[in-house]
Structure 1
């Protein structure tokens, strides 16, 4: 909630302090930042009559001196150049410039030199350089996400941009929270270490004055970790509502594009799934798929009751009441249609891809031992003509991650069978995954087989039984948060940057996953926060992954590594 509120407050201040008709000018990234926290109707209420992209404004010469231009941009050199040209030849009556992060002095000088006609009324930094998807989950939507898998020497320029973008956004988060954290990182990840060290340098040296907030009794903690420490979570089929929609259809900035799935009414081709704007989704986003069906049935029943009462119009008073309630009735109709459409489409996909069969094997591979039974189950999936190429590949990857040291001969048999059964199989992609995220590369005890405490925990879970066979898996993040709550996060595995040290247990923890988060992990964070341990966790990452995104990053990293002849 805190980050959504922070971004909403920034945008509200930006718009309400400027009276009259406005055009809001954004870039490709601030569009996402604004759209997840502010609806179009809310922008209209703030007298925003036009929303444009900064690069398209550059191409138009039409004068609009009756409008005031409100710019909200990332402070990139490209955006500064767009602004320089637009201010030099103004089309609008006034220019109000807001940036989502820290401006450099040179950038301020460029803007000042370009404002010969003195149309710029104000220049401000509003620290909202992140996309706040949910109360405890935000993302950066970073391009070239695959680059974290490669050594910096493979593509130094892209690697530096990637790290710079991560550091800038982490800084914006702590400026929005008015905090300066203690910073720790995953020891086995070069990219996590680099981002942690550069963030510390920015906050404690280069911009120390900006981060000199009133000290809290215990500093918050920023923990930078690597997606490759838990490659299992983004490979699994999902069975809770939000995670399942992203896995089977895809969510981008809390929007779901249904155009490719069939013929939908124009107003339903793209639907919004936001916990801030949709009370049914907020109540059900972490629920199991089976429970969702029952809850949607209740929603439909409620809507039918409302529809019946609206049909019973007999007097002028009834008509007036209907008119008053019509916006709410329409909203309810749209909401019901949206959720029924989503669940219907997902049910079709589950049946077509035999995902209940696939997922049962995946969960056994992720949660339980038994190499012989696992080999047989994966072999059966590979032989099943109904299973898609992608689902076959994921099952072999999950087997390889679990049993890479135990059964090299059988693993090679699965590789060969996969290559013969799947036309889309990219040779060497599973081996590349093991080089990236195999047991020798991981810091944590992913399968709970090294640490006595984890072995006991897994045994207790097995004896107690699992309520749903399809949702047995717990992301590694759960174990990490548990270690933080209990003060057991090992310094040797997660060193602190610099000479700082943590005095007592932190009350605020931001976990940044280089390579991307998953909605399964954001659910894990929400559940942890509801336990009232006295620690508030916030999850963030370079992107939000589903299995397609994770596999795409793997393939792109493998392609770049091969083309540069790198040993990765």
Structure 2
């Protein structure tokens, strides 16, 4: 069920059984899918000597190469393949598609293959980015569509919904399972995705999903990002989440080109739990422990480097040469993690994030409106606090106290607006209209019922390991309710008559609107507990606070356009 393994298996089946030199033809989407599954060195081991985009202009003919095309089954890609097959540059074509292929597309390919260079056509359902063993994303463009009423942009909203359904279907086909499906009742988009997924799996492609039944079917739960707007607004203090928040991660790569004093060989680095053992061991460690572990790694490397300098005999030299690739790899890893730690430390100091984050955590986890108000005001008046950090604090305050103290919310919004050049105060109101208490199903602050209040009190009495990581995303409560059989049908109904008896062993939670690495960490911890339920987390994108706010900006813009058109 581990996602990375499923995608790697598909890729190996494409490449392993095909002897000889190969060129890999990819599209914009599958480039990312492939890059998170296999490293460049692993591709070379499989005799892939050239990687090209399928839409690239024609180059020289290389009939000694076999073309392996791995593409999404879109009309655009079919047309690109038609061009390749009409005037083939390669000796053979092996065509693999990441999802369902329409019969009309198969006919176009057959008609185009006049030179009979196509050796095989297969569907390999790797239509998602397996960024970690239990975490996948679809890298959906225009993610803001997931938070818009469909009437504002019905055509693009439907395209986004279709893409989500296709991605979810690919996940279950790669698992060889058909799930029972539930959704968040209060969310229109979650309902649409769930119903369309059920229609695809149980009607349109019923035969394809007719796998051997298990005693308890796996569960697909489709929920809405708007149910927990707090998690993507918070600063993060565990390694993977912190890198994404401060530097950004795209397809397990971190772009450092625009940062000062970064060496050329470190301007783009890979952060993959499959390819980097240090990262795998430390991706969920907090900032303080991470610093100590990086220092330990540096000390161990320096000790090894000194031993390598003591080459006195031919035998010593042979031993060093044999270990040299591993030595170079370790050297690169040390430089990478030291560079990332250095850059993040610089940003934390520049933006005074330790102080800002402490206030964020208090807003997310503890009550006390007057104290919270004064803390936010203090940060709004601090010139060293950046505009985006001020905005996040006001947003977190507004989400917490929109009903309890609406006047203080207005005061903070006004104070923020008076000093902001980049963002308009109306963005906070857009957030509340999209993600406010009236729109949410879950008990975001744990104060709606006696059970959640008691649990929060118990957490407070025990204390927390780190004041900066005390927040728990809402998904932790959702997972607990699934495991204990307490997920309420009235809030999360099943689609159709496909109910579930008993506790599911496998659960896929898909968040329409995007996941966060904090939630991925929570899922990993749940799976490590081995309580009989294994959870996969997926979403339309992987958010940080900047991308979440950008989505809100786009919604704010479209709402203004809608109001203007109505007034005209």
Conserved in 1, the CA contact under 8 Å of 2:138 and 2:167? yes
**Structure 2 counterpart of 1:20:** 20
Q: Matched residue of 1:44: which SS?
A: helix
Conserved in 2, the CA contact under 8 Å of 1:33 and 1:132? yes
**Equivalent-residue separation in structure 2 for 1:42 and 1:460 (angstroms):** 49
**Structure 1 counterpart of 2:489:** 491
Q: Matched residue of 2:514: which SS?
A: coil
**Structure 2 counterpart of 1:98:** 96
> Which whole-Å deviations, capped at 9, do the CAs of 1:38-90 have from their partners, x for residues lacking one?
0111111111110011111xx12421111111100000111111111211111
Conserved in 2, the CA contact under 8 Å of 1:223 and 1:511? yes
**Structure 1 counterpart of 2:162:** 164
**Equivalent-residue separation in structure 2 for 1:72 and 1:493 (angstroms):** 40
**Equivalent-residue separation in structure 2 for 1:419 and 1:266 (angstroms):** 40
- 1:481 Cα offset (Å): 0.2
> Which whole-Å deviations, capped at 9, do the CAs of 1:282-328 have from their partners, x for residues lacking one?
11000010000100110001001110110000000000011001001
2:363 pairs with one of 341, 362, 365 = 365
List alignment gaps of at least 5 residues for structure 1: none
Q: Matched residue of 2:280: which SS?
A: helix
**Corresponding position: 1:229 with 2:221:** no
Conserved in 1, the CA contact under 8 Å of 2:414 and 2:425? no
**Corresponding position: 1:446 with 2:444:** yes
- 1:219 Cα offset (Å): 0.1
**Structure 1 counterpart of 2:86:** 88
Q: Matched residue of 1:260: which SS?
A: coil
**Corresponding position: 1:239 with 2:237:** yes
List alignment gaps of at least 5 residues for structure 2: none
Conserved in 2, the CA contact under 8 Å of 1:129 and 1:173? yes
Instruction: Map 1:238-277 to 2 at 5 A.
Output: 238-277=236-275
Conserved in 2, the CA contact under 8 Å of 1:167 and 1:195? yes
**Corresponding position: 1:140 with 2:155:** no
**Equivalent-residue separation in structure 1 for 2:332 and 2:556 (angstroms):** 43
Q: Matched residue of 1:62: which SS?
A: coil
- 1:362 Cα offset (Å): 0.2
Conserved in 1, the CA contact under 8 Å of 2:239 and 2:285? yes
Q: Matched residue of 1:502: which SS?
A: coil
Mean CA deviation greater in 539-548 or 403-412: 403-412
**Structure 1 counterpart of 2:414:** 416
**Structure 2 counterpart of 1:32:** 32
1:553 pairs with one of 528, 551, 567 = 551
Conserved in 1, the CA contact under 8 Å of 2:126 and 2:170? yes
Moved over 6 A (4+): none
| TM-score (normalizing by structure 1) | 0.98
- 1:423 Cα offset (Å): 1.3
**Structure 1 counterpart of 2:4:** 4
**Corresponding position: 1:41 with 2:41:** yes
Give the CA RMSD over aligned residues: 1.0
> Which whole-Å deviations, capped at 9, do the CAs of 1:452-494 have from their partners, x for residues lacking one?
1000011111122122111110000000000001000000000
**Structure 1 counterpart of 2:303:** 305
Instruction: Map 1:346-365 to 2 at 5 A.
Output: 346-365=344-363
**Equivalent-residue separation in structure 2 for 1:499 and 1:328 (angstroms):** 56
Conserved in 2, the CA contact under 8 Å of 1:99 and 1:124? yes
Instruction: Map 1:67-466 to 2 at 5 A.
Output: 67-466=65-464
- 1:550 Cα offset (Å): 0.2
| TM-score (normalizing by structure 2) | 0.98
- 1:149 Cα offset (Å): 1.3
Mean CA deviation greater in 428-437 or 151-160: 151-160
